[in-house]
A and B are shown apart, each in its own frame.
Chain A
Amino acid sequence: MRWVAVFILAYLALLAQTTLVRLVQIHGLGVGTVAPDLPAIVAVFLALHAGRAVDAMLAAWVLGLGLGLTASGGPGGGTVLGPMAVLYALTAGGLFRVREAFFRDRIHAQALLTLAFCLLVHGAWVTAQALRAFGYMTWPAYGEMLLQALGISVYTAVVAPLVHWALRRGQRVLMNVSAGRGRRAGA
């Protein structure tokens, strides 16, 4: 993993997430505001192509931390920093373990894995934040946020193949070698 390039990519992904993503976010589907989670797509891409699990997890941790840093607000004094970084890292690690079961260059596999990644991360994050704001959250509000997480996950999965295609073009800049099928996985 070329870490300088990965940090720049993470920064650009976060920048786009906090600004340009507003151009493509959707309202009025009955699940609140829905927008793609670009850092999640990057994390999935790195987990699919990184040479070692620990590299994928470290990069995902950085992306998750960036999301946490730029998402204050929410019920009960605001969101806390930490859960998103941990969830990103652990889920990326899990994805690294199961990636050999998928053809990672297939659009369907990319979309499916991104959907699974986002469902796990966002579902757990919403639950963690709701538990932390226990006195402020209501069950209907929690249900709404879970529905919103579902919407975000589906939207992210839909746009994931496009971002994967773009990242694939610059893969040589991000990592030294592409981990091939059958390469020994593990830290």
Chain B
Amino acid sequence: MRLRARLTKQRLLAILICASVAMTALGPSVSGEVRTWFHWALAPLGDAGLYVTTTVKGHVGRGTRISEEDLLALRRERDALEGAVIELRRQRDALRRWYADISTIYRSIPPEDFKCELIPARVVGRESLPYVASGMLNAGSVRGVEEGAMVTTRNVLTDRAKALAPRPFSALATTSGTGRLATTCLVGRVEKTWAFGATLRLITDRGFEINALIYRIIDDEHPRMIRVLEPARAREERLTDANNAGVPAFARGDGGRLVAQVPANHNVQPGDMLATKRDEFLPGGVVIGAIEKVVPDADHPGFQIVYVEPRSDLETLRHVYVVVPTWPESRR
């Protein structure tokens, strides 16, 4: 018997629909692989489109406007930082040479700081459906981008000492929104990489989850009381530098913000900051967002639901750093 079938449009459609159903059944990992085959097609023109979009949105803006005085101050600061960048690049090159010379000795010493490579990348495409919050990066595994790596903003000078310092919050608390340290913040995580690109899952995506810390702002004019729970009893204390440890919070995106559940005794309030906890992918203290709203958890007495507004403007996000740890031994 001869099997001779002509490929008509009807048959082609039936095959494509069957393939789609099969793809659905195979799950997100296979879908992710297939998506990587097609991203090369959208990236080149998407870059230009996103440039137009972010430029227009940057001018129109949805955030609060800053005064001319602040703008001038920021421009002066930017100019000074650009000068510092040149000097620091020179220093970095010198240090790299020095590092190469003593690398053998250096590797035998356990790390105290978080060693990482900041890979500059550009967001060249965004999600087509508003249900998800994702993007496409123009840097891939060829440039060292790894799956699971965290992604931060790249607005100003981000040398490691300032941007990725373990404890930036003493500075943040007095910065009032325009400080240098407040400009670098977490925007997402690399979900999938291929040779020349990567998929970025933004922090507001419903699938984004992170173990973080909430840093409470101490305001002497408005002292805050917290309840310290001890085995025998609970007592109230005023929040001070001595007892202001970060409040652990498991935050997840809800489509537009991040949401976390925290014990009410910590007395987290709007204005407090959510920041990263040190893990194998990121140093601690990188800002994620500010607490926007705190409501009691109706289902779990003694807990609060905190809503976190991302610190970065994810709508105009374009230039980012992918943070790739360079000290494998430090990965726990």
Which residues of chain A have a CB within 8 Å of any CB of chain B? 11, 14-20, 22-23, 25, 27, 32-35, 37, 39, 52, 54-55, 57-58, 61, 65-83, 85-86, 89-90, 126, 128-129, 132-133, 136, 141, 144-145, 148-149, 152, 187
Contacts and interface: CB of A to CB of B under 8 A. Distances in A.
Contacts of A67: 128-129
A34 B255 CA distance: 11
A170 to B, nearest CB: 19
B24 A74 contact: no
A70 B135 CA distance: 9
Contacts of B12: 58
Contacts of A23: 53, 56-57
Main secondary structure of the interface of B (DSSP, over half): helix
14 contacts: A19-B50, A19-B125, A37-B129, A57-B13, A58-B16, A72-B191, A77-B207, A79-B132, A80-B28, A89-B17, A133-B207, A141-B254, A145-B255, A149-B131
Interface stretch (B197-205, B228-236, B240-248, B262-270): B197-205
A145 B207 contact: no
Contacts of A57: 13
B32 interface: yes
Given A83-B20, A126-B131, A18 B126 contact: yes
A32 B130 contact: yes
Given A71-B129, A82-B24, A145-B131, A61 B49 contact: no
Interface of B: 9-10, 12-13, 16-17, 19-24, 26-32, 34-35, 38-39, 41-42, 45-46, 49-50, 52-53, 56-57, 62, 125-134, 136, 191-192, 199, 201-202, 205-207, 254-256, 315
Given A72-B35, A74-B132, A81-B24, A15 B13 contact: no
A37 B131 CA distance: 12
Contact of B13 (A20, A58, A82): A58
Contact of B20 (A11, A27, A85): A85
Most central of A15, A58, A61, A72 by chain B CB within 10 Å:
A72
B194 to A, nearest CB: 13
Contact of B16 (A32, A85, A136): A85
A94 B254 CA distance: 34
A20 B206 contact: no
Contact of B125 (A18, A52, A54, A78): A18
A73 B31 contact: no
A3 to B, nearest CB: 10
B7 to A, nearest CB: 13
B131 A80 contact: no
A119 B180 CA distance: 46
A19 B124 CA distance: 9
Nearest to A62: B16
Contacts of B53: 19-20, 22-23
B53 to A, nearest CB: 5
A15 B191 contact: no
Contact of A78 (B21, B52, B191): B191
Contacts of A83: 20, 24
A83 B202 CA distance: 23
Nearest to A86: B20
Contacts of A74: 131-132, 205-207
B256 A187 contact: no
B31 A25 contact: no
A68 B28 CA distance: 11
A102 B193 CA distance: 47
Nearest to B316: A22
A78 B28 contact: yes
B256 A17 contact: no
Given A15-B45, A19-B52, A74-B207, 4 more contacts: A61-B20, A80-B28, A82-B19, A82-B20
Closest 5 CB pairs of A and B: A19-B49, A73-B132, A82-B24, A73-B134, A81-B31
A57 B9 CA distance: 10
A69 B53 CA distance: 21
A86 B151 CA distance: 34
A83 B22 CA distance: 10
Contact of B10 (A54, A69, A129, A148): A54
